[in-house]
Structure 1
Amino acid sequence: MWPDEAAAQASAETLAAALLPSPNAVIELHGPLGAGKTTFTRLLLRALGVQGRIKSPSYAVMESYELPGGGTASHFDFYRFGDPREWEDAGFRDVFAAPGLKLCEWPEKAAGQLPPADLQLFIELQPDDSRRVRAVGSPALVEALQ
């Protein structure tokens, strides 16, 4: 449960620690509009040491960031993803085949194209603006969020 953004930040920091020194995972973020998927992604990227502007990939579909310790983090937003051929045309198969961290919002829009996730976060917005979060996947990553 994330009662506020500080709790989400604490989760992002413990997850970042579990991913270091060389983040190499596919993380899916599930939840409705406004659930906090992009906010959590920004918090995680900051916890991994990314500086500068972290923008939502809503229109570009993918934004990539160099990680201070080496490697790349790629943030995807598949909300506007319509045709599986877009996957091939955009070169996403190559991105997912390479090492690095892949953070995927709206992964259900790319169903059948994504490799199995190492971690799935299901974020539910509660009436009091807190978030109920359920983590599924790699035991080490799930435990980092407990």
Structure 2
Amino acid sequence: MRIEIHSIEETQALAQAIARLCQNKHVVITLDGDLGAGKTTWTKAFGKALGVTSTINSPTFTILKSYTQGNGQPLHHIDAYRLEGASQDLGFEDCFDEGITVVEWSQFIQDQLPEDRLSLSFEEGIDENRVITMEAKGDVSKSILEGYHD
């Protein structure tokens, strides 16, 4: 599914819509795209829609940050950018087995990701224009994507 985005507000609205569909589910969402494509902006709006009250920012240097959703479940935010070339198992399975996990730069930990995941690819255009391609891989992520209506 391809979605054209023309503003930060539309990016935030997409994140909020996906968050509503993810509530009370265990799901992994991967976000890929160039620097500045909108991945962290999307994650901030997504977390806020899930009831996270802490400030969400990119965990580039810490790699993983965990927050508490409004329902008490965890929201894990992984930034795998600095893991390019890492071959060891970093123990992310624990994150993937509880709450919701958002992974930026997922291509760097591809072999550690669960099979069932919702993948969003951000393609940057001119100004705030973006194309976001969403792909479901597995039953849980398919149910989320099937529930999304533009």
The verdict on a shared fold, with TM-score over 0.5 as the criterion, is yes
**Are 1:57 and 2:56 an aligned pair?**
no
Task: Report the counterpart of residue 15 of structure 2 in structure 1.
Answer: 12
Computed over aligned residues only, the root mean square deviation of the Cα atoms, in angstroms, reads 1.5
Unaligned 5+ residue runs, structure 2? none
Unaligned 5+ residue runs, structure 1? none
Task: Report the counterpart of residue 134 of structure 2 in structure 1.
Answer: 135
Aligned residue identity for 2:118: L
Structure 2 counterpart of 1:26, from 22, 25, 28: 28
Cα offsets for 1:28-56 (capped at 9, x unmatched): 10101110111101110011110121121
Following the alignment from structure 1 to structure 2, what is the Cα–Cα distance between the partners of residues 128 and 59? 27
Task: Report the counterpart of residue 120 of structure 1 in structure 2.
Answer: 119
Shifted more, 3-12 versus 132-141: the winner is: 132-141
Which secondary structure state, in structure 1, belongs to the residue aligned with residue 103 of structure 2?
A: strand
Task: Report the counterpart of residue 102 of structure 1 in structure 2.
Answer: 101
- Between the aligned residues of both structures, percent identity stands at 34
Change (3 A) 1:102 1:145: farther
Following the alignment from structure 2 to structure 1, what is the Cα–Cα distance between the partners of residues 111 and 34? 20
Cα offsets for 1:115-143 (capped at 9, x unmatched): 12421001101023311111100333224
Task: Report the counterpart of residue 92 of structure 1 in structure 2.
Answer: 92
The alignment of Structure 1 onto Structure 2 pairs a total of residues equal to 141
- Please report the TM-score for the alignment, with normalisation by the length of structure 1: 0.89
- Please report the TM-score for the alignment, with normalisation by the length of structure 2: 0.87
1:15 and 1:145 in contact (8 A); partners too? no
1:37 and 1:123 in contact (8 A); partners too? yes
Cα offsets for 1:45-83 (capped at 9, x unmatched): 011110121121100000000111121010000000031
Deviation at 1:84, TM superposition (A): 2.1
Question: 1:65-80 counterparts in 2 under 5 A?
Answer: 65-80=67-82
